[in-house]
Structure formats: structure tokens, C-alpha cells
Chains A and B, each alone.
Chain A
């Protein structure tokens, strides 16, 4: 394995992280938050130092970089990002335990939005900003950002494909344009445009600037860290609706937006995954609204709350306007199912992904048909194109790994002794990068009660969920670290 090249990449990632902490540091200086300012300064210097050492020590690294290196590189990068990103919370004393701080920032980077803080309003502004900004950064991916800004040796650029594949969600990741740098640039530009639009719409509804920026970051990354104790509930209905719409928009595959830019409107509307996503969202809203008759004062309010909650869960954001833990069981079960489905592939959302669910479903349907007609030959098609058997196999393997991790984590955290619903929903909410679960980890509660061990398990779950399991799983495989 090309350890030097991986170390070099991680060094660069640390430099990027340090640079991204600068705005938060500036806010802490501007607001005279002395403790936070000191914490940020120390963290930035430490991160720069570590990054600098890694980059200079690995000069002249060999070029060999394959799928395995790409995976390992992404896996380790994200862990390291969390380890350093947690320092401002820990050093400023805002979160006294390091594991708690780590939980908080990994929850940020993986766009989970699960918090261990009982109340967030007492946090200083710079820390709130850093917390929300980690969502934005983690949503599209830090390594993808690095691909967009770095220009290196042209001859060895093929390997960047492995990084994009490992960091971007979806069963089949492809480029939008021939050059990786440009592909990454396009993704980030679209991401920025949508984020800015979101901020403008929030500002138009009278939300203060700082709140708009942080909320937009949380929405864009489909993260879910609010800066208020009651998440989004305290804002006006208009602002809640804006959030609903933008959450849903960020849950769409970004290549659809690129197609729209190229005016290929038809192919966007014919996209099967997008259709499934819209269908799932509308269907869930209708069912829950019917189930909740008479729960809220007016039908309008019901639809508003239901649409918000559905959007928040399906895109794996995790904002809340109401305590859905109090809803009837049928509605809660639908939400739990939505947790499993998740948003579209190639979006900033987490979960199993609509696209992959579509593949697994179509594969299953074929298997059933083949039982009826044993000799039947059938090719699984999506968007009128044949899907390679390998992609199908990968989707099925992913489903298996997905189920296995849920079961294993569920078992591990059950040692703490909380209820089955709490544990299961905590695992699902962390693994699918949603945030709030049910009962003890419901929208009005938090994760602080869990033991250190359970928190570490959930941290790994969050990382595995964001990176689609394999980059994290590969770190635990003995064959990874041995000689080829």
C-alpha cells in the first residue's frame, strides 16, 4: 500500500480544515469570545503543523494509487478530520469530555446532526458557526473540495476517480465532465449557488443573518444542527416551509441540476430515481396527514408539520418543528422506514439511497420472476439503460453490510440498558446520518446519556453511514494493512 501518498493526502486535508476554521476564528475575535478564540487559534496552529509535517515528510511519494488506497485514504481522512475538528469544543471547555466533542463534530461532518448538548443556545457564536459549517463541508465532501482546488501532476490524475467514488454517495459514481477538477468544481459551484439561494430566502423571511447562514449550512449538508434549542420550531411558518423545500432540493442528485443547467429537462423528469424520491415523499406526507387527523388545529398546519418532518427525515437532515415522538405509531413507523430509504444518490443526504433501493427492488423482482420462469433471462434496466450485473451485486452486498452494521451496533449499544426503540432508532438515526431518533433520542432529547463506548460505536456508525460503509469497513480488515 502506498502509505506515503495517503499521508500526503491527509496532510493536505488537514491544511484545508485549518483554513476552514479561519472564519470561525474571525467570528470569535469579532465577538470578543476570548476562550473560544484561544481554542480556535491553538487548534488552527496544531492542525497546520500536523498537516505541514505530513506534507513535507512525504515529498517524493510514489504514484501508485489504486481503489484500495482511495478507500483507505478517505476513511482515515474523515477520522482525522473529526479528531482535529473536535479540538475547539474541547479546548474551549464548551464540551468538557473529548469523546463528547468528537461525537459532536463527527455528527457535524457526517451531516448527522445528532447532538450530545442538552441545550445549544449557551454555546458561543463561533462554536455554533463551526458546528453548522462542518455540515456544509461534510455534505459535499472535503476530499471532493480538495480535488476542486488542487492542481497537480496531470499524468497521475486517474486515481482521483477512486477518491470521488469513495467519498460521494451512490451505487454508481461518474464524472460530469472529463476532468476530475472540473467535475468537483461544478459540484461545489452548484452547491454554493443553492446554499446562497437558501440564505436569501431565509433572510427574506426576516431571519437574522447569522441564523440564516447557520440554518442554510445545516440544510445544505442535510445535517440538522440548529442553533436554537427547539431546532426550527420557533421560526415562522414561512421559514419552516423554506426549509422544507430546500431540504428536499438538497436531497436530489446533483447531476440532475447539472442536466438542468445543460437544458436537458426531459431526462431530468424521466429520471427513475428522482420519480421514486418524489413519490416516496408525497406518499408519506399523504399517509401521515391522514393518520394525524385532528392532531393539529388546522389542516394547513398539519400539512406544514408533516411535510417538514418527512422532508427532514427522508433527506436525513434531522431538523424538527414538532416533537414527532408524540405522533401515533403508524406515523412514527413511516418515519422510521423513511430513515432507511434516505435521499437520492449523488446528493448530500445519507441513508440507503433511493437509487440503490431501486436497484435492489428491481433485482428482487427479477429473482421472483425467475422462480416462475426458471429459464427467463432478464436485464435490469434503469432510465432505459442496462445495469451491469456487478453494480447490482454491489447494491446487494451493500444491503447486507448495511443490515449487518445495524444489527451489530444495535447489539453493542444495548449494553447500556435503554429501551429497544431508543437503541434501534439511535443506531438508525446515526448510521443514516439523520440525527434525532425516537423516545430517549427523540427530537427534543439528545445523546448525552449514552456511555463512552456506545458513543464511540455511534461515531463509527455515523462515519460508516456517510462514507457508505466500505471506506470504514476496509480499515478493520487485516488484508488492508498487509502486503499485497
Chain B
């Protein structure tokens, strides 16, 4: 399948890496020859330099025989124009536009229907929803939902002194008091698919599959105290802040928002009358103190600078704010961040890439495609949900008899609405949904790909 990606920014290059590795033919368009050259040297793709909204450049990129166009330049309007122009040249083309200006959000559905857009993505809005979900369940670093919200893969950090520390996975069930499965462990920047003898150490980040209704038990038995979030402090007043503040305000949470730029503050105060907008420097310790950071239930740092976010989050952790969430623009240095107590990290770009990759896979394979795809463990592992149909092999056979590929785990079976964390005797039947976790270089397109050839 041929895919054109317009805009070689962070999202563009992240998508390029992911989609090119999955075997799609990628043509990348950008106006800046320098970034193009470095991307071209890193990945097996073709680069076209120019304005992606012009017919000439699109022609050069081979729009006529492409299947999908993803417009992710910095300007919404260019993205839109790029998709419109491209679609006029190739009526069969699927188009995805990144549109993130809050002024367009209310009309986004209308735009999608009026203009020939297959999908619009708004990374900041998506991240805001994700952060809100985390705030509702403090204790987890990340949550990914499957099986219509009934199963989750949650991320936990094994801190020194945690009941999990120094336990092998075989006796995990007795420690946490409910049936869960560790599907990936991130240690020192690389992901492993652990077996029963694997021993957890302090500093590991683990990815646990559990039915949603057992999450509360899990948290309780791990001595992670949870209490309802009532007061939240947001640092930085960007688009993400706006979306998040708006949603939190709606659910009755008191929000304090610190922003450095006065005009932006006025703008936000106008848009969000219920939010306490404070003009000041969020890295100023005294300001944080006087605004009562210690009394907050959660701190979310989302200024434009990753470094600043980390510093403020560290301050939050030191002052014992129960929940800290850090927004990051770059995700490639997360193995360093694992060593810092900065709470959950959220990358809008990563979320946005996940959504697009999911769309691409569904497009490639209308039948038998994964129903949901989540990249976990900083992109080192992937969780996919499949429906078992008549084409699936080994229906009804106990799992211990199956030969799965290396680094592939079957972590959950949903049978008639009941979730089961599988053991050796478990099996799946037609109509069930299963969740697969893969780590390393294994790419799974269809359920049958998980078996050793």
C-alpha cells in the first residue's frame, strides 16, 4: 500500500518510522530539504521537497496511485488544502488531516462530511481525554482499554518498597490478590515479554492486563492509595491545557492554570470562565507554592518545553502531590526518564500516531484486521485486539499446546462478555475476542500471524 505523508515534523517522522517498518511504501513531503535528507537516510522511503498543497508536488509524490494521504504539517489550513487538492486528483484516495486549532473543534464533524476527509486527528484533544482518564484512576501511569472498555492494560512503576518488588511473576497472583497478567516489562529502555520465572526489580515499568473491575483491588493490594481528584493544577496554557481544562471543568473539578504569556491568559480566561487562570512563570517555585501546589490532588505539566515540564513535575513529586502527569514532545529518551520520579508521561504525538496506525491497518486489511491497536512500553511493544473467526487456526485447543512466535503473548480472552486472563488450559472459541501483546520486531497483521510458521 502506498502512503503519502505530508509534513516531516515529529508526528510525520514517527509515522514514517512505524509505517515504513510495517512494510508500506512511504513518500514524504516537506518544504525543508534538510529534515527530508536526514529522514531519507534513516528510513527506506522516498522524499519529495515542496509545498504539499500544490498539484505539482503531489503529482511528483505519486498521488495518483497512492492509497492514503496523511497531512500533518504545522498548519491546519495547509493540511486541509493538501487533502482537498490530493483528493481532487485521485478520488479513491483516503485522507487524514491533522486539525488541532480549538476554533475548528466544534465544526470538525461538519468539516469531515463536507470535505472529502476520511479522518481528522487532533493530538492535543486526544491527549486531554487520555489525561482525564488517568486522573480518574490515579495510580496508573497509563491505561489502554480493550474489549469495549472491559479489559485494560495498565502501566505501573515498581518502586522500591512496593509489594511487587523482588517477586517472581509466578507468585504475582497471590501478591495482588486477583488474576492479572504482566504482558511486558520495560527495564533500562528495552521491553521484554516475561515468563513465570521473571523477577521484578525496583525501577521496572510493568504492563499489566486486567479486567477493568479488578483494577480497584489491584491498586488496594499494591498499597497505592487512591482518592478522588478534586483540585488540579495545570502548568502551561497551550492547546492541550485548554482542552483538558475545559473537560475537567465540565466534570466539576477545580482547575488552576498557570501561563506565562499575558495575552494568552486573557484569551484563556475569556474562553474558560470557570477556570482560575494565573499569569506567571510556572517554573517559579514561590509561585507554585503561593498558588497552593501542595494542596492539589494532581499536577499536570504541559508547557512547550519538555525539560521545564520535567523540572516542575520533579518539584511536584518532591512536594508529595499525589498524582503527577508530564507531557512530553519527544519520546525517544524515555529510558532516561524512567529513572526520574515524574509520574505518568503523555505524548500527544504518540497517541496521534497510534490512531493513524490503527486506521492504516484497518484500511490494509478490511477483514481480519485488529480491532484496536495500542502501542505500549514507549513503542517497544504493541497490544492488539482480534476477533476469532472461522479462519483462525487452533480453535478450542488449550494454549499450552500452541506454538506462539517468540515475544508474542496472548494476554486475555473475552468469551461471551466474560474476561479471562488465560492460563495453559485456556482456549478460545469462534466469536471470542483475544488480546495479543508483541514486543520486539514482530509485526502482527492478522491473528494467525501469531503462530510459529
Contact = CB atoms under 8 A, between A and B. Distances in A.
A158 B2 contact: no
A178 B21 contact: no
Interface in B104-146: none
Contact of A157 (B43, B46, B62, B441): B43
B44 interface: yes
Contact of B46 (A66, A154, A178): A178
Interface string A145-177: 000000001110111111000000000001101
Interface string B175-192: 000000000000000000
Interface residues of B, number: 18
A161 B39 CA distance: 11
B197 to A, nearest CB: 25
Nearest to B64: A262
B441 A155 contact: yes
A182 B27 CA distance: 14
A381 interface: no
Contacts of A181: 44
Contacts of B441: 153, 155
B27 A178 contact: yes
Interface string A302-321: 00000000000000000000
A178 B44 contact: yes
B40 interface: yes
A243 B43 CA distance: 40
A158 B25 contact: no
Given A178-B26, A178-B27, A157 B44 contact: yes
Contacts of A182: 25
A181 B21 CA distance: 14
A218 to B, nearest CB: 33
Contacts of A154: 20-23, 44
B304 to A, nearest CB: 29
A391 B62 CA distance: 24
A67 B43 CA distance: 13
A179 B44 contact: yes
Contacts of A153: 441
A180 B41 contact: no
Contact of B40 (A155, A158, A179, A388): A158
Contact of B2 (A157, A161, A162, A178): A178
Given A153-B441, A177-B25, A388-B33, A161 B46 contact: no
Interface string A55-67: 0000000000011
Contact of A178 (B25, B41, B42): B25
Nearest to B46: A178
Contacts of A388: 33
B14 interface: no
B25 A179 contact: yes
Which secondary structure characterizes the binding site on chain A? helix
Nearest to B2: A178
Interface in A46-80: 66-67
B345 to A, nearest CB: 24
B55 interface: no
A158 B43 CA distance: 4
A388 B25 CA distance: 26
B33 A160 contact: no
Interface residues on A, range: 20 to 34
B218 interface: no
Interface in A265-315: none
Interface in B22-48: 22-23, 25-27, 33, 40-46
B46 A175 contact: yes
Contact of B44 (A66, A67, A174, A180): A180
A169 to B, nearest CB: 19
Contacts of B33: 388
Q: Is the interface of B mostly helix, strand, loop or mixed?
A: mixed
Nearest to B21: A155
B26 to A, nearest CB: 5
Contacts of B2: 178
A178 B42 CA distance: 13
Nearest to B42: A158
Nearest to A264: B59
A155 B22 CA distance: 8
Interface string A180-204: 1110000000000000000000000
Contacts of A175: 46
A174 B27 CA distance: 12
B184 to A, nearest CB: 19
A145 B237 CA distance: 55
A154 B33 CA distance: 24
A161 B23 contact: no
Contacts of B41: 66-67, 158-159, 161-162
Interface in A117-151: none
A250 B393 CA distance: 53
Contacts of A174: 46
A153 B62 CA distance: 26
Contacts of B40: 158, 161
B45 A178 contact: yes
Contacts of B46: 174-175, 177-178
A360 B21 CA distance: 39
B44 A160 contact: yes
A381 to B, nearest CB: 14
A162 B38 CA distance: 12
Nearest to B39: A158
Interface string B336-351: 0000000000000000
Nearest to B61: A178
B43 to A, nearest CB: 4
A464 to B, nearest CB: 24
Nearest to A391: B33
B406 to A, nearest CB: 15
B84 to A, nearest CB: 24
A66 B33 CA distance: 19
Contacts of B25: 177-179, 182
A179 to B, nearest CB: 6
A174 B46 CA distance: 8
Interface string B3-31: 00000000000000000111101110000
Nearest to B28: A178
Nearest to A66: B41
Contacts of A160: 44
B381 to A, nearest CB: 15
Contacts of A180: 44
A178 B4 CA distance: 10
B325 to A, nearest CB: 31
Contacts of A158: 40-45
Interface in B231-264: none
A161 B441 CA distance: 22
Contacts of A159: 41
Most chain B C-beta atoms within 10 Å of own C-beta, residue among A153, A174, A179: A179
A388 B49 CA distance: 11
Among the interface residues A158, A160, A161, which one has the most CB atoms of the partner chain B within 10 A?
A: A158
A153 B46 CA distance: 18
Most buried by B among A67, A154, A181: A154
B234 to A, nearest CB: 38
A155 B44 CA distance: 8
Which of B21, B33, B43: most chain A CB closer than 10 A? B43
Nearest to B17: A155
23 contacts: A66-B41, A153-B441, A154-B21, A154-B22, A155-B21, A157-B43, A157-B44, A158-B41, A159-B41, A161-B44, A162-B41, A174-B46, A175-B46, A177-B25, A178-B2, A178-B25, A178-B27, A178-B45, A179-B25, A180-B44, A181-B44, A182-B25, A388-B33
Interface of A: 66-67, 153-155, 157-162, 174-175, 177-182, 388
Given A154-B23, A158-B43, A162-B41, 7 more contacts: A154-B21, A158-B45, A161-B41, A174-B46, A175-B46, A177-B46, A180-B44
For the complex of A and B, 10 pairs with smallest distance between CB atoms:
A157-B44, A178-B25, A178-B46, A158-B42, A158-B43, A155-B21, A175-B46, A180-B44, A178-B45, A178-B26
